Amino acid sequence: MSQLISNMWLSFLLILTFLYILYKYMTRHFSYWKDRNVFHLKPIPFVGNMWPVLSFRRCMGEFLKDLYDSTDQDYIGCFLLDKPALILRSPKLIKNIILHDFNYFSDRIATAESDVIMSNSVFFKKGPMWKTLRERLSPVFSSGKLKSMSKLIITEADSMANYIDKFVNIPNIDSKEICAKYSTNVIAVSAFGIKAHCFDSETAEFRNISRNMFKFSLSNTVRQAGCFLFPNVIDIFKIRLFENWILERLQQIFTEVMSIRVDMEKRNDMIDILLQQKREKNMSDYALLAQAIQFFLAGFETISTTMSFFLYEMAIHPEIQERLRKEILKSISENGGISYEAVQDMKYLNMCLSETLRKYPVMSILDRTCTMDYKVPGSDYVIKKGQIIFVPLLGLHYDSKYFPDPEKFDPERFQNMSNFNNDGFSYIPFGAGPKNCIGARFGLLSLKIGLSTIMSKYELCPSSHTPSKMQFEPKHVFLQSAKGTALEFRPL
């Protein structure tokens, strides 16, 4: 009996010793910001300042906005578990870091080193390789290429309208799912050169893939949040960004399409550009596949989510909806239909879309890693090599200094785009500088064609399940509605 008690005490002491060592290890950096005289909130052992995110009370964008709102300093320190991270508040400093002094902050935090496919994408590439890869992909998004792609996009927008016709005058239709089907079709035909048929079948393969890429699950949360917040852990355990079956199936599809398209007539889409790069620059199959998959995942989520937030705002602001519809119908009449040229002329549509991107930046944070010691202009503070940097877009976009009455949906803010970002970056929904979103123009074109098609045919009305106030889903990496965007589509 005494031996048993002795063993229990020994086990207890070993556990206490382990917990003490773990506590000391996880708090070893907690004096970091205090030592540098940087404003910060008091961290909690083992979680740092991350408890609101880890407990699924706030999404990452809202968490950083809360930190942003806690002070008026140019920057604020925080802790990702035990790791110090710097949150930027000053638009002028942000502009310096992601534009003027880009060479000090050329790398993103995110990693996919353990993923043989995604590690080759331009998003995850670090050092000089990302620049070479980006230059090779830039021709995909030239004005000429976009104009050619617009015909494919218009066809998918018409398919969307035919699909919506099945649900007119029915309340509480899930507008996000409609937008997701549209964006999946657009990306599949533009990037992969194949028809996804999402409006023809509820079990369409590409829609199943896109749905599983971003559905909430513990696995997806660890994979996708981890690559941005805890890249070292992702690398150590060799965790891939997406489930194996998703990447393997996309690889099969892509390989089949590439082999078929080699001898076919050019379509002026992404596949043509990638085939050209393979011939002229000897790009590997993994590198080619990575760009197509990145285009698919980034474009799908950005387009579908922004569209659904846009439709929501139109439904709860009928006066704005009506004014926009008049512009769209006038432009369609003058141009003989929806076209590349027609959507470029829709000034109020652009204003409404810009305001939607202000309130709902899908990727609500920008991240960078300091690659060389950097002295912050006008201060004695030096950002050390390896320091994690965050730019909180929700904080900036909801700051009343830059956007009075920020909760209000007010497209008039964007009547003159030249008023923005002159002295610093306060409005950057697609990022800025050399690493801004390479597909932003394609995304905007797809959004304008899809939205103008819907607005020209249907009145958007709120339903009983339409949120009266938008709340964001805390379990998702990207900005999402926690209660969906249920609407009613009424034919004009």
Which residues are documented as binding site?
Answer: 437
Residue 424 has phi, psi (to 5 degrees) of 180, 170
In the numeric block, which tokens belong to residue 49? 């300042």
Q: What is d(CA 244, CA 249) in angstroms, rounded to the nearest whole number?
A: 9
In the numeric block, which tokens belong to residue 53? 């995110």
Binding site for heme, by residue number, is: 437
Q: What is d(CA 440, CA 374) in angstroms, rounded to the nearest whole number?
A: 29
Residue 216 DSSP symbol: -
Amino acid present at 381? Y
Q: What is d(CA 89, CA 440) in angstroms, rounded to the nearest whole number?
A: 24
Q: Could you tell me which of 179, 91, 79, 244 has the C-alpha nearest to residue 489?
A: 179
Amino acid present at 248? E
Residue that is written with structure tokens 């002229």 in the block: 280
Q: What is d(CA 40, CA 75) in angstroms, rounded to the nearest whole number?
A: 9
Q: What is d(CA 338, CA 304) in angstroms, rounded to the nearest whole number?
A: 20
Is the Cβ–Cβ distance between 490 and 73 less than 8 Å?
no
Q: What is d(CA 58, CA 42) in angstroms, rounded to the nearest whole number?
A: 18
What DSSP element (H or E) covers 262? none
Residue 121 DSSP symbol: S
Residue 42 DSSP symbol: P
Q: Provide long-range contacts, Cβ within 8 A and 24+ apart, for 233-240.
A: 234/111, 234/112, 234/113, 234/114, 235/111, 235/113, 235/114, 237/114, 238/114, 239/114, 240/112, 240/114, 240/115, 240/118
Q: Please, what is the Cα angle at 208 between 205 and 211, to 5 degrees?
A: 150
Q: Could you tell me which of 387, 391, 382, 392 has the C-alpha nearest to residue 369?
A: 387
Q: What is d(CA 279, CA 475) in angstroms, rounded to the nearest whole number?
A: 43
Is the Cβ–Cβ distance between 479 and 468 less than 8 Å?
no
Give the other-Cβ count within 10 Å of 461's Cβ.
Answer: 17
Cα radius of gyration (the chain) = 24
